[in-house]
Amino acid sequence: MSTWDYEIFWKEALNQIRQELGEHEFAMWFNMEYLHSTEKEIVVAVPSSFYRDQVTMRYKNLIEGKLHELAGKDLKVIFEVRPRNKDVSPASQSIKENGHSTNNEISSPKTPKTEQISVPKKDPHPQLRQDYTFDNYVIGDNNSFAANAAIAIAKNPGGAYNPFLVYGGVGLGKTHLMQAIGNYIHQNSNARIIYITAENFTNEFIQAIQANKTAAFKNKYRFVDILLIDDIHFLQKKNETQEELFHTFNALYDANKQMVFTCDRPVSELKNLSDRLRSRFERGLTVDLQPPNYETRYAILQKKAESRGVQIPKEVLELISRNVTSNVRDLEAALTKLIAYAELVGKPITIEVAQQHLKDVFASPKQTNMSIEVIQRVVADYFSLSINDLRGKKRTQNIVLARQLAMYIGREITEYSTTELGMEFGGRDHTTVMHACQKIEEKLRSDPSLDPILQKLIRDIKDYSTKN
């Protein structure tokens, strides 16, 4: 028995936080189990290191602030990772469990995992690609939150995460993930599922108006169980379609029907979108997909080569993973090109063949442009922040400094203009970048401890670019 027992403060702090955040967010992140206390600490269990990092970033200050108010002294919260079952990959474990979705699904992604969720056989869904399954989706740091949330939704559609909105750049796996949800639900239930791109949704709606069949259109979309709409950025300026989707949304939302949307940017950055539709999109869970890191790129290539039944030497996979950094689509394209060549000339795929035939792919500007992301990643890591913090709007001291440093480094070591840099930092204006650079220059003059940090960051960035 410990002399110190702060469980009562812990419980009350959580109670108050629940009221402040609301059930939805609370249920998502506060799946913690009180373990014990010491004089100055409260130790609680969390299900994974990913979860621990997220919670530390998002809520540690809030929790410790509450504890301070309640206990009248500083109490640190220590998150101890206690996976529920070490033998099973957490993501595949979560889908096998029958309970309703809890945040335990958010798993640690240290090594990229390939989903092992076998799907029972049933006729394929006519609108879904059969190979877009969780089985074929490699989970890495860049997508683990999105992927685990998608799995939770597939298990329990219409539950806690409605709507589910995935955003991110081209070729990062948005469509694959969305369809994996559809495929899983299709295979495991009799739910009526519609997958459609926002563009086709718009076209269909226009045709319905022209043919005087809007009632049929409404019926079709307002009475589905699962609605998957891909690439909603297409809806910008399509006012009537937005209006129609708004009503569809409300009907489905009220009936607890699951909706999933994808978008190529944060919804807040969409222009010419009605405020009420925007607020609906943002009502549920929003997650972003980042470009995959080296390990994940390697794992994806391995998976793709395997599924095509081709043997590819390790050095070749390493070569491609190192050089194609933009997105998964480009990664796959490089592999396809290589396989096609080897088949055509009947030669084995060697490192020489790969080097020779992928030269153009590797040299494309897209691949060399990755440096801003690398800069953001290295700087964010150094400050224990996420890339999104640097691109986002938060203005805590720490984030502002990190963001300004990253912009400064971007200007120093890349060819990007301040306008382009601004775009890479969440669509900021070029004057913001110029201001950031001025600030850092001033700081460098007044604070001698900053320069060594800056130099270390630049070294790490260069190292990272050559190794990855």
- Enumerate binding residues for ligand ADP (CB under 6 A): 136-138, 143, 170-176, 300, 303, 328-329, 332
For ligand ADP, the closer of residues 170 and 340 by Cβ is 170
- Residue 102, Cβ neighbours under 10 Å: how many? 16
Yes or no: say if 290 and 372 are a contact pair by the CB < 8 Å rule.
Answer: no
For ligand ADP, the closer of residues 319 and 335 by Cβ is 335
Size of the site for Mg ion (CB under 5 A): 2
For ligand ADP, the closer of residues 136 and 321 by Cβ is 136
For Mg ion, the closer of residues 174 and 297 by Cβ is 174
Per-residue x/- track, 98-137, Mg ion (CB under 5 A)? ----------------------------------------
Yes or no: say if 245 and 218 are a contact pair by the CB < 8 Å rule.
Answer: no
Looking at this protein, which amino acid is placed at residue 131?
D
First to last CA, the chain: 49
For ligand ADP, the closer of residues 288 and 424 by Cβ is 288
- Compute the Cα dihedral for 212, 217, 219, 222 and give only its sign: negative
Contact segment (CB under 5 A) with Mg ion among 171-179, 304-312, 316-324, 436-444 equals: 171-179
Q: Is 175 in the site for Mg ion (CB under 5 A)?
A: yes
For ligand ADP, the closer of residues 136 and 286 by Cβ is 136
In the complex, residue closest to Mg ion by CB:
175
Residue 329 contacts which entry, Mg ion, ligand ADP, none (Cβ below 5-8 A, type-dependent): ligand ADP
For ligand ADP, the closer of residues 134 and 221 by Cβ is 134
CA distances from 212 to 118, 207, 245 (A): 44, 8, 18
Indicate the SS3 state at residue 76: strand
Q: Tell the smallest beta-carbon distance from residue 398 to ligand ADP (Å).
A: 31
CA 16 to CA 279: how far, in whole Å?
Answer: 26
- The 8 Å CB, 24+ separation contacts for 382-390 are 382/453, 382/456, 382/457, 382/460, 384/57, 385/57, 386/57, 387/290, 388/288, 390/425
Residue 328 contacts which entry, ligand ADP, Mg ion, none (Cβ below 5-8 A, type-dependent): ligand ADP
Q: Tell the smallest beta-carbon distance from residue 326 to Mg ion (Å).
A: 15
Give the containing element (helix H, strand E) for 93. helix 90-96
For ligand ADP, the closer of residues 41 and 318 by Cβ is 318
Q: Is 327 in the site for Mg ion (CB under 5 A)?
A: no
Q: Tell the smallest beta-carbon distance from residue 170 to Mg ion (Å).
A: 7
Indicate the SS3 state at residue 427: coil
Q: Describe the crossing of helices 294-307 and 328-345 by its angle, rounded to 10 degrees.
A: 40
Q: Tell the smallest beta-carbon distance from residue 165 to ligand ADP (Å).
A: 13
Beta pairing class for 193-197 and 164-167: unpaired
Looking at this protein, which amino acid is placed at residue 70?
L
Residue 332 contacts which entry, ligand ADP, Mg ion, none (Cβ below 5-8 A, type-dependent): ligand ADP
Indicate the SS3 state at residue 429: coil
Q: Tell the smallest beta-carbon distance from residue 214 to Mg ion (Å).
A: 27
Residue 52 contacts which entry, Mg ion, ligand ADP, none (Cβ below 5-8 A, type-dependent): none
For ligand ADP, the closer of residues 131 and 463 by Cβ is 131
Q: Tell the smallest beta-carbon distance from residue 350 to ligand ADP (Å).
A: 25
For ligand ADP, the closer of residues 112 and 157 by Cβ is 112
In the complex, residue closest to ligand ADP by CB:
173
Q: Tell the smallest beta-carbon distance from residue 194 to ligand ADP (Å).
A: 17
CA 414 to CA 409: how far, in whole Å?
Answer: 8
Residue 403 contacts which entry, Mg ion, ligand ADP, none (Cβ below 5-8 A, type-dependent): none
What is the layout of strands, in order, in the sheet containing 258-263?
A: 193-197, 226-230, 258-263, 164-167, 285-288
Q: Tell the smallest beta-carbon distance from residue 24 to Mg ion (Å).
A: 27
CA 335 to CA 135: how far, in whole Å?
Answer: 20
CA 123 to CA 120: how far, in whole Å?
Answer: 10
266 backbone dihedrals φ, ψ, rounded to 5°: -60, 140
Q: Tell the smallest beta-carbon distance from residue 199 to ligand ADP (Å).
A: 13
Residues in touch with Mg ion (CB under 5 A): 174-175
